[in-house]
A and B are shown apart, each in its own frame.
Chain A
Amino acid sequence: MNRNIFALQRIARRTFSSSGRRLENHVPQKQKRFQENDGMPIHLKGGVSDSLLYRATMGITVLGGAYVVYELVKWGCPKKA
């Protein structure tokens, strides 16, 4: 009876679907990837998606910063009525 229960447990734990892969421990692979000596700073070390996100963020920073300076200069120098 116990042998059957153990066999059932073993089968239940086997997962062939992608949801099983998601529950696996991928930390060792990540550790290997992020410890590669490629000279990249941490915020770009993850690959292309890092660069895209960085560029989008910096783009908003520069454009937004310029817009705020423009607004502040406009507010600081009101036109005479």
Chain B
Amino acid sequence: MAHQAHAYHMVDPSPWPLTGAIAALLMTSGLAVWFHQHSMILMAIGTVLMLLTMYQWWRDIVREGTFQGHHTPPVQKGLRYGMILFITSEVFFFLGFFWAFYHASLAPTPELGGCWPPTGIFTLDPLEVPLLNTAVLLASGVTVTWAHHSMMGGDRKQAIQSLTMTIVLGFYFTVLQAMEYVDAPFTIGDGVYGATFFVATGFHGLHVMIGSIFLAVCLLRQIKHHFTSGHHFGFEAAAWYWHFVDVVWLFLYVSIYWWGS
């Protein structure tokens, strides 16, 4: 059997980039079909294909790293750069929505009554559920750090407990935010206030759900002994993503909920 003379990972040919690309095509054209022909079938097929691709692609990465040992230090460095670049791209994604919010709110048009919040908009009290949500996410940042230190210290039980607590807090945030959405006195259609509020907080909520799933996968892997005290990058990536989600919320809270009320 030939052995490589370098520490890098030359991956096996994989079908998942193709299936993922076709899934994106099916989801986007499915969206157009839904808008114009009122059928959700294509979009549903695209979503199923996307989920199958994600499951199998990430399963293969776990096999390559944890079971085959391909994630040497240089490879791990590349994975770290990759995750940092991805999170940076997400920062720019949210930057756009904050730009839209500040563009509308710093110079409110006469149509809004020349004021912010616009005339007729009853904002949510920032000291009620939004403040609780802030406390919940900040606490989850503490518990995920606790989980990391437990993992580094080889304390398996505490790592599992604190990681579970982090996921429960994330779920609690999502439930609270969903209740806020249902009870809000304004909708996404209520002018630029409603649009900026629900698009910015909505995408944030989606990222909380994605982050919670990422952490849950890490919990499963921690239970299955995949992580060691010195090598647990999958968990670190999830923790970085979780801190990013927390920071975005802090900006949302200060800008939209507090200053914007």
Contact = CB atoms under 8 A, between A and B. Distances in A.
A45 B68 CA distance: 11
B60 A61 contact: no
Contacts of A35: 67-69
Contact of A65 (B22, B60, B223): B22
Interface residues on B, range: 20 to 34
Interface in A11-39: 23, 25-27, 30-31, 33-35, 37
Interface residues of A, number: 28
Main secondary structure of the interface of A (DSSP, over half): helix
Given A58-B15, A61-B19, A61-B23, 15 more contacts: A27-B224, A31-B67, A31-B69, A41-B14, A42-B60, A42-B68, A43-B12, A43-B56, A57-B53, A60-B48, A61-B49, A64-B45, A64-B46, A65-B22, A72-B29
Interface of A: 23, 25-27, 30-31, 33-35, 37, 41-43, 45-46, 53-54, 56-58, 60-61, 64-65, 67-68, 71-72
Interface of B: 1, 11-16, 18-19, 22-23, 25-26, 29, 33, 42, 45-46, 48-49, 52-53, 56, 60, 63-64, 66-69, 223-226
